[in-house]
Amino acid sequence: MSITLNPELADFEDFITKIDNPDHRDQLIKVLNWVNTTFPQLQPRFAWNQPMFTDHGTFIVGFSSAKPHFNVALEAVTLSHFRDQIEATGDKTTKMLWQIKFDQPVNFNLLQQPIQFNIETKQTMTSFWRPKTV
């Protein structure tokens, strides 16, 4: 059974169709639809070859796909804040990414937390990315 993207996410269709494995494709569609439904105030945007969601023009979360996993792109401040919780679930992180294996269930309760964190901590931000700290 194939899952379809929410109509609001039509700009992500080309990206999704390039994922060869139908199970991987369905899992990522499920995540993108969940973000769209859970955070309806976020605007879907396709940039830097990845689907992402923004709030008043500022980056909140992005996604990309690799063979064994998909990546949740979070800014370094956010990823650092949630790294221990993410790694405690068995997921891996890099400097800028949270890697979720395609063959494991997505922890939506945990995924909601960094997205909400970005929404709340970037309410007054006018730039796309957080300013670099020295």
Closest listed residue to residue 112, CA positions, set 35, 4, 55: 35
Residue 53 within any structural domain of the chain: yes
pTM of the model: 0.93
Residue 82 within any structural domain of the chain: yes
Q: What parts of the chain have a pLDDT lower than 70? A: 1, 133-134
Residue 111 within any structural domain of the chain: yes
Residue 128 within any structural domain of the chain: no
For residue 96, the model assigns a pLDDT of: 86
Residue 80 within any structural domain of the chain: yes
CB environment 103-116: b (16+ within 10 A), e (fewer): eeebeeebbeebbe
| CATH number, position 92 | 3.90.1150.200
Dig out the tokens for 113 from the structure.
Answer: 């937390």
Residue 2 within any structural domain of the chain: no
Looking at the 3D structure of the chain, how many domains does it have?
1
CA distance 64 to 49: 8
Contact (Cβ atoms closer than 8 angstroms) between residue 100 and residue 106: yes
For residue 1, the model assigns a pLDDT of: 55
For residue 133, the model assigns a pLDDT of: 66
Q: Which domain holds residue 65?
A: 7-121
| DSSP character string of 6-71 | -GGGGGGHHHHHT---HHHHHHHHHHHHHHHHH-TTSEEEEETTEEEEEETTEEEEEEEE-SSEEE
Residue 127 within any structural domain of the chain: no
- In the chain, the amino acid numbered 121 is T
Residue 44 within any structural domain of the chain: yes
